[in-house]
């Protein structure tokens, strides 16, 4: 792939950047306006040679999500490169319902490998199209947030939004 389109939108959680290929498939996304940080979420072999600013189809889905349509992100097409288990995991992440997060252990069981908790966590850590593949919906045993590439504050606000918790105004 040689050319990708980058669009940054404003969200309540900060700037959100989407990088999409020429077919409008999301390659990577996250809460930053730093293109190098976005590109750093991709393996070197998967990075586009050229990134141009433009409009992505996925931006409207992200904005609709922030306007309360939590299912707006479900049909956004993404492209990820990885192992068969990673692909199965990324697909499974998209089936976790908003407001019903799983623990890493439950996620591993859901993948058919109950003892592969570390592998389940690794699948989340290597997820490039954040929000559209909602890795934020996986928590540590006991409900602790665990890790999130874009910060635990963003992860908590996403989970609160999906659980119907009103945002604090202040």
Domains of the chain by start residue, with CATH: 3-73 (3.30.160), 84-163 (1.10.10.10)
Match 């119907």 to its residue by tokens: 164
Q: What's the pTM value of the predicted model, to 2 decimals?
A: 0.94
- pLDDT tens, N- to C-terminus, the chain (170 residues): 589 999 999 999 999 999 999 999 999 999 999 999 999 999 999 999 999 999 999 999 999 999 999 999 999 999 999 999 999 999 999 999 999 999 999 999 999 999 999 999 999 999 999 999 999 999 998 888 988 999 999 999 999 999 987 655 44
Task: Give the Cα-Cα-Cα angle 103, 39, 81 (nearest 5 degrees).
Answer: 60
pLDDT score, position 1: 54
pLDDT score, position 11: 98
CA–CA gap between residue 70 and residue 89 (Å, rounded): 20
pLDDT score, position 166: 64
User: Looking at 4, 135, 149, 158, which residue is catalytic?
Assistant: 135
In Å, how far are 4, 5, 113, 118 from 50, measured between CA atoms?
A: 6, 9, 39, 34
pLDDT score, position 170: 43
Return phi, psi of residue 115, to 5°. -90, 0
CA–CA gap between residue 15 and residue 63 (Å, rounded): 12
Active site residue 135: yes
pLDDT score, position 168: 55
Neighbours of 15 (CB within 10 A): 13
């Amino acid at each position: 792939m040689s050319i990708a389109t980058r669009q940054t939108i404003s969200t309540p959680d900060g700037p959100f950047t989407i990088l999409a290929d020429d077919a409008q498939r999301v390659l990577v996304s996250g809460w930053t306006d730093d293109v190098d940080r976005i590109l750093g979420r991709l393996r070197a072999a998967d990075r586009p040679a050229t990134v141009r600013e433009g409009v992505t189809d996925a931006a409207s889905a992200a904005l609709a999500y922030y306007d309360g349509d939590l299912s707006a992100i479900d049909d956004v097409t993404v492209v990820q490169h990885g192992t068969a288990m990673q692909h199965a995991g990324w697909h499974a992440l998209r089936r976790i319902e908003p407001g019903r997060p799983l623990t890493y252990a439950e996620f591993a069981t859901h993948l058919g490998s109950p003892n592969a908790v570390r592998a389940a966590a690794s699948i989340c850590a290597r997820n490039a199209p954040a929000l559209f593949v909602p890795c934020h919906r996986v928590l540590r045993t006991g409900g602790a947030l665990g890790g999130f590439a874009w910060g635990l504050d963003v992860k908590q606000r996403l989970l609160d939004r999906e659980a119907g918790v009103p945002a604090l105004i202040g």
